[in-house]
Amino acid sequence: MDPDIVLFAEVVRTASLSAAGRSLGISPAMVSKRIARLEARLGVRLLNRTTRRLDLTARGAAYHRDMVEILAAIRDAEARVSDRTDTPTGPLRVSAPTSFGRLHIAPHLKPFLDAYPGDRTRSRPVGWVLRRHRRPARSRDPNRASGAAKPDRPSPCRQPSRSVRCSEL
Residue pLDDT, tens place only, 42-65: 999 999 988 888 899 999 999 999
- Rounded CA-CA distance 91/71 in Å is 32
What is the model's pLDDT at position 141? 56
Q: Do the Cβ atoms of 50 and 12 come closer than 8 Å?
A: no
pTM (2 decimals)?
Answer: 0.51
CA atoms of 47 and 59, how far apart (whole Å): 9
CA distance 77 to 47: 29
pLDDT at 88 over 60: yes
Provide the percentage of residues in the chain whose pLDDT is more than 70: 66
Closest CA to 126 of 144, 139, 114, 140: 114
Say if CB 10 and CB 24 are below 8 A apart.
yes
Residue 148 per-residue DSSP state: P
The single-letter code of the amino acid at 125 is P
Instruction: Name the burial class of residue 8, with classes exposed (0-12), middle (13-18) and buried (19+) by CB atoms within 10 angstroms of its CB.
Output: buried
